[in-house]
Every structure is written in structure tokens, then in C-alpha cells.
């Protein structure tokens, strides 16, 4: 299988590249390295520096590689940034998606896998959230992801491609950028640096966390199953932000002692996703125990922040 992964040198994308290489796929990664790193990738992955919003470059790349599957993870991912500059958010998340869709369709690609988000649901009317619940985003990021979903369905079908849409919960794990404001990353960084972690809002807001390696497994499953369907991909249990901080502090043997900041625009009080559709169709379930995943994550950041840390390319498991 020939797989083109946009954003493949990033936090989630690099794990996806690794997972496909372990299954003897040929992997081409397109990334502008705005948040990703070349060192995140296995040596067997072919890397091309470029931006999904550059339609001419993307078209030529897809035509030359002729992918069987395109996995689209390149995005502007900050909810806060989307509210500060919705035009930039749309240019990347809508314009970039269209650029890659058109290139994929012209290349003869058979399948397009799109990374969407739980933010497309907005404030849930019921919990857990199901795929057929109302889609009413309250942040510009959710709006751009929902627009991307519609384009994937319409433009993909017009070019004879099947699609799979994955609505991701709060993904965490090794290789997230240290500048990320994702709770697990930000808290790990602060605790390891001996700084005071910052909790936005009151810390009682609960989210559905999912380990990045489990997300990579879902993407691999979506390459073969779930034609033209949408799936929730999450851990299926809610954990408050305060609980996440306490678990990380326990793993490091330190006191959390957070300070509090105002609520972030677009934040939701409680979220948990129903992933039974993914269980049945993709034959996927999150299988990494939460405490084990948090321990692996904080261990990776500890090693990264060590004064003797040296980043080297990952060798493929093939």
C-alpha cells in the first residue's frame, strides 16, 4: 500500500507513519515542519518539505507518488488561535484540505482519511456523544473541521474516492511539541521544569483522552474498513483536567500546586465520546491503559528535557 500522510512529521502523524511502515507500506510524508520534526520519522519514510496550502506542489507530489491512500493530518490545531485568527484557521483547515483532496482525486487515489475533531459537536446535548448527534461547533476550529468533513464527502465522491472521517478526542503521547497547550504536554513540561502548572478555568472540566498510538491503530484500520463513514476515536472515559495533573504529578513524585487562569474560549465543561461504531466497523478499541499511557508520555518528556538528550531518527520496526 502506498500511503501519503500530510502532517506526517508531527505529533500524531509520525506515529501513523510508523504504524503503516510496520505493515510494509510505502510511506511518503508531506510536512512544513511548523510543529513537526524530521527526527520524529522512521528512516524508511520518504520526507518532503511542503505545505498543503500550496496546491501546485501538492498536485505534483501526489501525481508522482500515486498514493492508494491519503491520510490528512496537517492542520491548524489550536482552538484559541482559531478564534484569534479565523481567516488563517480556514486557509489551512479548509483551503489545505481542498488542495490535498483535489490532488488526491487527480492522482487516482482510492481512499481519503480525514482527521476531524470532537469540536465539531460543540456543547453536547447528551453524553456520551455519538456520530449522529447534532454538529454545532462553538469555536472557529470546529467550524473549519466541519467544513473539511463536508468537502471530503462531496469532493471525494466526485473524484471516485471513498473516505473515512475520524473525529478525535484529546490525543496525548510522546512527540507532542513542547509549545503545545494540550493539557498532558503542558503539565508534563511545567512539572519537569519545576514550574507551576497552569489550569485554565477551574480544572473540573472533563475531557476524553486517547493515547496517540491507539489513534495510529485507528487510522491503519480505516485504510481498509469503514467506507464513507465517520467515527469517534477516543478513550471513552472522561477525566478532569485536575485529575490529569494529579496523575502526572504522582508519576513524577512531585506536588502539583497549580495556579488558575481564565476559561479558554470554546472550552466545554464535560466531554465523553461513544466509540461503539468504531468497535463494530473498524474493529478498533483503545487498548493502552490510561496510567500506562501517561507514564510513557511523561517518561518521554523527561528523556527529552534531560541535558544529555540527543534526538535521532527513529528506525522502522520492519
d(CA 318, CA 42): 10
**Percent of the chain with pLDDT strictly greater than 90:** 91
d(CA 269, CA 255): 25
d(CA 285, CA 92): 30
pLDDT tens across 121-179, in order? Answer: 999 999 999 999 999 999 999 999 999 999 999 999 999 999 999 999 999 999 998 88
Q: Residues with catalytic annotation?
A: 141
pLDDT tens across 303-315, in order? Answer: 998 865 545 444 3
d(CA 54, CA 35): 17
Domains belonging to the chain, first-starting first, are: 2-172+210-236+272-287 (3.40.50.720)
The three grid cell numbers given for residue 293, joined into one nine-digit string: 499511557
Tell me, what's the pLDDT at 265? 78
pLDDT-based confidence at 316, cuts 50/70/90? very low
Q: Mean pLDDT for the chain?
A: 94
Which one, of 35, 294, 9, 73, lies nearest residue 177 by Cα?
A: 35
pLDDT tens across 274-300, in order? Answer: 999 999 999 999 999 999 999 999 999
Name the one residue in this structure whose C-alpha cell is 473498524: 282
Tell me, what's the pLDDT at 237? 84
pLDDT tens across 234-259, in order? Answer: 998 889 999 999 999 999 999 999 99
Name the one residue in this structure whose C-alpha cell is 498510538: 213
pLDDT tens across 97-126, in order? Answer: 999 999 999 999 999 999 999 999 999 999
Tell me, what's the pLDDT at 266? 76
Using only C-alpha atoms, the chain has a radius of gyration, in whole angstroms, of 19
Tell me, what's the pLDDT at 267? 83
Rounded to two decimals, the pTM is 0.94
Amino acid at each position: 500500500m502506498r500511503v501519503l500522510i500530510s502532517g506526517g512529521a508531527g505529533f500524531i502523524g509520525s506515529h501513523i507513519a510508523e504504524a503503516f511502515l510496520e505493515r510494509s507500506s510505502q510511506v511518503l510524508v508531506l510536512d512544513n515542519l511548523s510543529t513537526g520534526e524530521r527526527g520524529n520519522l522512521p528512516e524508511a519514510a520518504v520526507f518532503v518539505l511542503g505545505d498543503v496550502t500550496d496546491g501546485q506542489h501538492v498536485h505534483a507530489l501526489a501525481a508522482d507518488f500515486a498514493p492508494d491512500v491519503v491520510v490528512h493530518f496537517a492542520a491548524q490545531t489550536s482552538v484559541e488561535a482559531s478564534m484569534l485568527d479565523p481567516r488563517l484557521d480556514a486557509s489551512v483547515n479548509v483551503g489545505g484540505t481542498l488542495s490535498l483532496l483535489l490532488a488526491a482525486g487527480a492522482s487516482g487515489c482510492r481512499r481519503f482519511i480525514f482527521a476531524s475533531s470532537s469540536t465539531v459537536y460543540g456543547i453536547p446535548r447528551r453524553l456520551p456523544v455519538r456520530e449522529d448527534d447534532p454538529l454545532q461547533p462553538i469555536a472557529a476550529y470546529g467550524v473549519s473541521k466541519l467544513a473539511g468533513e463536508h468537502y471530503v464527502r462531496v469532493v471525494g465522491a466526485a473524484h471516485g474516492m471513498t473516505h473515512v472521517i475520524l473525529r478525535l478526542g484529546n490525543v496525548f503521547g510522546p512527540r507532542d511539541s513542547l509549545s503545545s497547550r494540550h493539557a498532558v504536554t503542558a503539565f508534563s513540561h511545567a512539572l519537569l521544569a519545576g514550574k507551576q502548572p497552569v489550569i485554565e478555568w477551574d480544572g473540573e472540566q472533563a475531557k476524553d483522552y486517547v493515547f496517540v498510538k491507539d489513534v495510529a491503530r485507528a487510522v491503519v484500520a480505516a485504510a481498509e474498513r469503514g467506507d464513507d463513514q465517520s467515527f469517534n476515536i477516543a478513550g471513552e472515559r472522561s477525566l478532569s483536567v485536575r485529575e490529569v495533573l494529579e496523575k502526572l504529578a504522582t508519576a513524577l513524585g512531585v506536588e502539583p500546586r497549580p495556579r488558575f487562569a481564565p476559561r479558554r474560549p470554546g472550552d466545554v465543561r464535560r466531554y465523553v465520546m461513544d466509540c461503539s461504531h468504531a468497535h463494530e466497523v473498524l474493529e478498533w478499541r483503545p487498548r493502552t491503559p490510561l496510567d500506562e499511557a501517561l507514564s510513557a508520555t511523561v517518561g518521554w518528556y523527561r528523556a527529552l528535557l534531560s541535558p544529555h538528550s540527543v534526538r535521532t531518527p527513529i528506525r522502522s520496526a520492519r
